[in-house]
Amino acid sequence: MPQPYSPSPPLWRRLALAIESGDADALGEWYQLEWPAVFRLCLGLLADHAKAEDAAQDAMLRISDKIASWDPVRPYAAWRTTVVLNLCRDVLRRQSTRRDKETAAAGQFQLTRLPDLAIEAERAEVRDAIQGVLGSLSDREREAFVLRDLEALPTEEVARAMGIHAATVRTLLTLARRRLRGLLAPHLPGVEVDGGAA
């Protein structure tokens, strides 16, 4: 199970209090810690690099504004994920017409070759592939997959963030995994495909 970056709760509490009191240094430290995580989360949820960058900037502002309302009893990562998820949903809702077209296009996404993650020169192809792969999922499947399999949040937290039942999260997760397996498994070295693809 991947271990997402998760500084100790006291650090978050200290930063939250300092940011709330207007400490510019604490805000800068918090930005450095959070920016990569928030951007990746937006990238996963939106499946679009440019949109993710814009959304991540908005998310950083929104989180820093709302950090006073964070209840330290709840894990910081889960709270932050909920804020980012809601913001990304707003982005998708605003661009629903465009999104429909993109989703239709993404449904036709086909991988001819899986770029090598270890090769620096293939970074752009990896970026396109991850956008295409995640874009091939429905919004809810993508949310479940990103939060559970990429962010490694507990299923209960994913359900809470998405506002659905945990059993539904598992169902969405299964659908997402099956779809991704169908897309990627034929290209993965050493993986036998036995017709389990969607």
Partner 1 sequence: MKHFDDQDPIELLRALWSRVEPPTPDEVATDDRHQAALEWLDSALDASAQEPGNAAQKLDPSTTATIAWVRSAWSQAQVPAMPSPPVARVPRFVLVHRHLAAAAAALLIAGLAFTLAPLPSPKADPTLIAQAPESPTALVPIPASIPARIVPAGLELTSGPVRLTLLAQLTPTTKTQD
- In this complex, which beta carbon is closest to partner 1, that of residue 93 or of residue 123? 123
Instruction: Tabulate helix, strand, coil % of the chain (nearest 5).
Output: 75, 0, 25
Question: Could you give the dihedral angle defined by the CA atoms of residues 89, 148, 188 and 105, in that order, rounded to the nearest 10 degrees?
Answer: -10
Of 102 and 149, nearer to partner 1 (C-beta) is: 149
CB burial of residue 112 (10 Å; 0-12, 13-18, 19+) = exposed
Closest distance between partner 1 and the C-beta of residue 45, in Å?
11
Q: Give min distance, CB of 99 to partner 1, in A.
A: 20
Supply angle C-alpha 102, 146, 53, rounded to 5.
Answer: 60
Q: Which of these, 131, 81, 89, lies nearest to 109 by C-alpha position?
A: 131
Residues that bind partner 1 (CB under 8 A): 1-2, 19-22, 24, 27-28, 30-32, 35-36, 39-40, 43-44, 49, 53, 57, 60-61, 64, 68, 114, 117, 123, 126-127, 129-130, 133-134, 148-150, 153-158, 167, 170-171, 173-174, 177-178, 180-181, 184-185, 188, 190-194, 196
Which residue type is seen at 145?
Answer: F
In the complex with partner 1, the residue whose CB is nearer, 97 or 195, is 195
Residue (53 or 100) nearer to partner 1, CB? 53
Q: How far is the CB of 11 from partner 1 (least distance, A)?
A: 17
Our CB check for partner 1 shows the closer of 36 and 100 to be: 36
Q: How far is the CB of 98 from partner 1 (least distance, A)?
A: 21
Cα–Cα distance, 137 to 47 (Å, whole number):
9
The minimum distance between CB 97 and partner 1, in angstroms, equals 26
| CA triple 29-33-36, angle to 5 deg | 135
Q: What tokens appear for 103 in the block?
A: 């989703």
